[in-house]
Structure 1
Amino acid sequence: HCIMGNDYYITNEHRVSEDGTTTPSGEIFGYAEITWQYYDRYRIPVMHTETNLRDGNGGKDAVAWLWKEWANVLRVRNDGVPVVGFTWYSLTDQMDWGSALRENAGKVDPVGLYDLDRKIRPVGEAYKKLIQDWADVLPTQSQCLQVPVVMPQEYDEYWAKKLREEADEHRGIDASAANDTQSQGRQP
């Protein structure tokens, strides 16, 4: 099972000058357009694996960014791209993330759903609301819990076969039919 993870931050897009230098441009195309380009090229399910915005303006900027990115996910999903997930990175604030960990300054980067004292930020409350409001669209549990992780060299091991059968049962797939399909070189 292949899933393409796409990160998208406000700093992703850049303007390239005639001399080859680049400058940050902010959001021009956005997650939806860029994800469509990736999907058109690779034709595999996608997951919005990382996004965040610093908790400025009383938390309003991060909340607005969260809802905008969610709207982008819904847009590509509704237009036919198989989207399997959406993640705000990270659960808690980061240390020295603003310097990309190049400096050990002990500076808190307020990007988490929770601060380092485990107090929920406004974006964390908004993420909870997103999950509550969109429960009928979201999968009931993690896709990762349904897909057995087996290294290629271990695929034919007895225990690996049992893992696949259990996952198939959980997903309501007839294990014998799935095994026949897999033995013919195709994945169900």
Structure 2
Amino acid sequence: MTWYQDGRLHFGVGVEDTFVPQTRPGERALDEYELTEHYTHWHNDLGLAAEVGAEFMRWGIPWYRINPAPGQWDWTWLDGVMARFAELGIRPIVDLLHYGTPEWLEGEFAHPDYPQRAAEYAVAVAERYADTVTDYTPVNEPMIHARFCGELGYWPPYLTGEAGLTRMIAALADGFARSQHGIAEVLGERATFVHVDATTRFVGDIDGEHADKVRLLREQVYAVEDLVTGRVHGDHPLLEHLLRHGMSEDLLDRLAATPVLPDVMGVNYYPQHSTTLVQDGPWPRGGFVDPAPTRNDGVTGLEEVILAHTERYGAPVAVTETCVTASAAERVAWLEDSVALAHRLRADGVPLVGYTWWPLFDMYEWTYRHADTPREASLLTMGLWDLVESEQGLLRRRNPVADAFQRLATADRASIG
């Protein structure tokens, strides 16, 4: 029996792990481990997760650091982190790609060798840690990847439009599938795959002048996951659109013939950001460039996306990221409300197996990449621990959200035991 089949709700945390090392004029490298000083404090940081009763941690590997040149690997730092997970008894759910590629891969996701390079990296990690790590997320939030890199021109390789978006969707799906197949060959039945994507809901004037756009966007939310799970064929609503904008029929056929399925389907939901309010008038460009208005639908929205993913993919589901950027009291309120929803859904028979507060400690807003202000100007108050500037670097200061998380996580285990 694997962990997600034991009948419990498992509590975990994550460390924000976005890595976009490439730069051009007006941009800074974005490495959240560097910004939060996790490269220095990783040993104690993992201990903080154990302190609040986290059973698992969604944690990402900085691909660009451990694979500094083609065929070259530097495992020194990562070996210590993985040993620390084993020491603490925390299960790492390893994010292989949480944005960003090595700097030597020219063109990033648009490089023709990207899918194979991603698979080589996945297999190298799986082989090295085969005795201790079995849980993997091949690509975190692939549709955010695709939009930022392929539609909005915001991150490398800076493509735009539907053709750029389709090119990124194709590359990411191909690398995703190859990576999962490669890991499965290494680990066999011991492997567990947690697929994770951002959830986006559309409310408001959905039947107004943007109705066609909304229908397309609602399908594109699932585009990469539908591709890798072999659903995009026949009368799939995205099939003609993808082909028209450059998707290869050979790739579609291969993905449909050799699907990779989630053992757990993860949903990332932020009540302040995950629901787009559609309004008549000019359509916003999206991302940070021209953001669409949002609406906070609270646990109603979270329930909707959990049920939608459960029905669509037929796998156990987990909340793989959630929080609110707000005061500690508001964070505690969201934590309690969303965990209460999780218990209610489980009581109703929904196979909800995990709940993840993201992040363990505060993080820095992605707009840091295009700013010229000190990092503290980009701080997001989201964590169980506050990040506090000091002459000794960033301190981790426990706040009331950690107390509430520990109470809920340990009470759940005690009630089962």
TM-score, normalised relative to structure 1: 0.64
Among 84, 87, 90, the residue aligned to 2:356: 87
What residue in structure 2 maps to residue 67 of structure 1? 336
What residue in structure 1 maps to residue 275 of structure 2? 13
TM-score, normalised relative to structure 2: 0.30
Cα deviation, 1:97-154, whole Å, max 9, x if unaligned, reads: 263754363022111111222221111111011112211467x9xxxxxxxxxxxxxx
What residue in structure 1 maps to residue 302 of structure 2? 31
Runs of at least 4 residues off by over 4 Å: none
Flag the 1:101–1:94 CA change in 2: closer, same or farther, 3 A: farther
Question: Counterpart of 2:339 in structure 1: which amino acid?
Answer: W
**The residue matched to 2:336 in structure 1 has which SS?**
helix
What residue in structure 1 maps to residue 384 of structure 2? 113
Flag the 1:133–1:34 CA change in 2: closer, same or farther, 3 A: same
What residue in structure 2 maps to residue 131 of structure 1? 409
**The residue matched to 2:325 in structure 1 has which SS?**
coil
1:18, distance to aligned residue in structure 2 (A): 3.7
Gaps of 5+ in 1: 141-188
Flag the 1:8–1:101 CA change in 2: closer, same or farther, 3 A: farther
**The residue matched to 1:115 in structure 2 has which SS?**
strand
Flag the 1:47–1:63 CA change in 2: closer, same or farther, 3 A: same
Distance 1:100 1:50 in 2: 21
1:79, distance to aligned residue in structure 2 (A): 1.6
Instruction: From the two aligned structures, give the one with the greater strand fraction.
Output: 2
Question: Counterpart of 2:293 in structure 1: which amino acid?
Answer: T
Flag the 1:38–1:100 CA change in 2: closer, same or farther, 3 A: farther
Cα deviation, 1:18-69, whole Å, max 9, x if unaligned, reads: 447342111163211221111111110111000111242xx11000011111
Alignment check: 8 A CA contact 2:275 2:295 kept: yes
Distance 2:306 2:270 in 1: 13
Gaps of 5+ in 2: 1-191, 193-262, 284-291, 388-394
Flag the 1:94–1:5 CA change in 2: closer, same or farther, 3 A: same
Pairing 1:34-183 to 2, within 5 Å after superposition: 34-56=305-327, 59-95=328-364, 97=365, 99=367, 101-103=369-371, 105=373, 106-107=375-376, 108-116=379-387, 117-136=395-414
Flag the 1:104–1:13 CA change in 2: closer, same or farther, 3 A: same
Flag the 1:55–1:15 CA change in 2: closer, same or farther, 3 A: closer
Question: Counterpart of 2:383 in structure 1: which amino acid?
Answer: G
Distance 1:20 1:3 in 2: 38
**The residue matched to 1:49 in structure 2 has which SS?**
strand
Flag the 1:7–1:120 CA change in 2: closer, same or farther, 3 A: same
Alignment check: 8 A CA contact 1:14 1:26 kept: no
Alignment check: 8 A CA contact 2:325 2:382 kept: yes
**The residue matched to 1:41 in structure 2 has which SS?**
helix
Flag the 1:100–1:44 CA change in 2: closer, same or farther, 3 A: farther
The number of residues matched between the two structures is 136
Alignment check: 8 A CA contact 1:93 1:109 kept: yes
Question: Counterpart of 2:341 in structure 1: which amino acid?
Answer: N
Flag the 1:45–1:93 CA change in 2: closer, same or farther, 3 A: same
Distance 1:38 1:137 in 2: 27
Distance 1:87 1:51 in 2: 7
Q: How many percent identity over aligned positions?
A: 29
More relative contact order in 1 or in 2 (CA 8 Å, sep 6+)?
2
Alignment check: 8 A CA contact 1:32 1:75 kept: no
Alignment check: 8 A CA contact 2:319 2:356 kept: yes
Question: Counterpart of 1:36 in structure 2: which amino acid?
Answer: L
